[in-house]
């Protein structure tokens, strides 16, 4: 790992005019890891732009240093980048529109903790055993020549806290706690970050969470639960404010797999998969063209709702046989 990190740092030092990007529907780890790399480039005096697929950066993360530096994609054909750092995304397809801006493979760096789907970068820092991309960015920056301060510590702590579910998910490691302990030396306030990330929903979002829970369905003798939000309900909410329903779907006694299904366009659905332990939901998501981790994954589906639910129940059922 050390040789690879030094190789990546050397490349980042040598190039300039960087694109920094992540996945569609960027989450807390995506924002934190992108902004942490931007912080490194600021200290080095590098040129860069942070461009994401989402047309409006999520205001939930506006407490993070550099939030105002994030721009949505625009089809400006004059934009050219010498190099790129792509974070928290396993394939070009999951970047959305910014993938059009990538320079050739030899000038791309990928930092990620998801299973590799497609190779698009010559420089890779990928570890599926790590809780978050922010964790990996810490390992990279801590070996650079810049000093960690409050702003950077706040970013990295936020990303790790987000992707470990407040240090409660099964992906949380001893190293996560060691990093968190180190970052606390820079006046990071865990309670304030937790409030921003997890307890900062609108009144409408909380009502929607209640709607989802009230209409949750049980399948496979109580081993599978599904929460569904139709399009008319989804349109009233920002995606990130109701994402906690993914975790609620598996927070029931006896449930082993939970699904959060939402209709984001007519007959177009996003599905989040959660597993309490023994079932590999990454394998289930892959059956629908998605992917992720063993205990948390996702996919997209275009078609009829009834056919989606039937297919999901059948596929999950195979893993209990």
Beta-carbon contacts of 280 under 8 Å, excluding residues fewer than 6 positions away, are 294, 319
Q: Quote the tokens at residue 117.
A: 């789907």
pLDDT in tens, the chain (321 residues): 788 999 999 999 999 999 999 999 899 999 999 999 999 999 999 999 999 999 888 889 999 999 999 999 987 767 889 999 999 999 998 899 999 999 999 999 999 999 888 889 999 999 999 999 999 999 999 999 999 999 999 999 999 999 999 999 889 999 999 999 999 999 999 999 999 999 988 899 999 999 999 999 999 999 999 999 999 999 888 778 898 999 999 999 999 999 999 999 999 999 999 999 889 999 999 999 998 888 999 999 999 999 999 999 999 999 987
What pLDDT, on a 0 to 100 scale, did the predictor assign at position 321? 72
What pLDDT, on a 0 to 100 scale, did the predictor assign at position 75? 75
Q: Token pair 């698009």 is at which residue?
A: 120
Q: Token pair 């050390």 is at which residue?
A: 2
- Give, for 159, the enclosing helix (H) or strand (E): helix 150-163
Beta-carbon contacts of 96 under 8 Å, excluding residues fewer than 6 positions away, are 23, 24, 52, 53, 73
What pLDDT, on a 0 to 100 scale, did the predictor assign at position 145? 95
Instruction: Give the closest residue to 295 by CA, choosing from 315, 316, 275.
Output: 275
What pLDDT, on a 0 to 100 scale, did the predictor assign at position 36? 98
């Amino acid at each position: 790992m050390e040789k690879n990190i030094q190789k990546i740092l050397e490349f980042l030092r040598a190039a300039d005019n960087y694109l920094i990007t992540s996945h569609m529907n960027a989450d807390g780890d995506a924002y934190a890891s992108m902004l942490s790399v931007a912080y490194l480039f600021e200290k080095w005096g590098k040129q860069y732009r942070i461009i994401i697929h989402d047309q409006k950066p999520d205001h939930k993360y506006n407490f993070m240093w550099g939030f105002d530096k994030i721009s949505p994609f625009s089809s400006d054909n004059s934009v050219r980048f010498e190099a790129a750092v792509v974070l928290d995304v396993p394939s070009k397809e999951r970047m959305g529109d910014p993938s059009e801006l990538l320079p050739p493979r030899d000038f791309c760096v990928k930092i990620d903790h998801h299973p590799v789907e497609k190779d698009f970068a010559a420089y890779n820092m990928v570890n599926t055993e790590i809780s978050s991309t922010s964790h990996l960015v810490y390992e990279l920056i801590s070996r650079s020549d810049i000093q960690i301060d409050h702003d950077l510590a706040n970013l990295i702590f936020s990303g790790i806290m987000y992707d470990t579910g407040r240090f409660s998910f099964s992906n949380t490691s001893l190293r996560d706690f060691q990093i968190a302990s180190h970052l606390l030396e820079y006046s990071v306030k865990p309670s304030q970050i937790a409030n921003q990330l997890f307890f900062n929903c609108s009144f409408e979002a909380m009502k929607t969470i209640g709607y989802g829970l009230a209409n949750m369905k049980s399948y496979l003798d109580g081993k599978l639960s599904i929460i569904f939000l139709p399009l008319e309900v989804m349109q009233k909410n920002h995606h990130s404010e109701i994402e906690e329903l993914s975790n609620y779907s598996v927070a029931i006694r006896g449930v082993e797999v939970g699904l959060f299904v939402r209709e984001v366009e007519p007959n177009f659905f996003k599905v989040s998969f959660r597993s309490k332990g023994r079932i590999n939901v990454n394998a289930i998501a892959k059956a629908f063209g998605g992917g992720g981790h063993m205990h948390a994954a996702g996919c997209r589906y275009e078609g009829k709702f009834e056919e989606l639910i039937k297919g999901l129940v059948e596929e999950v059922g195979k893993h209990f046989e």
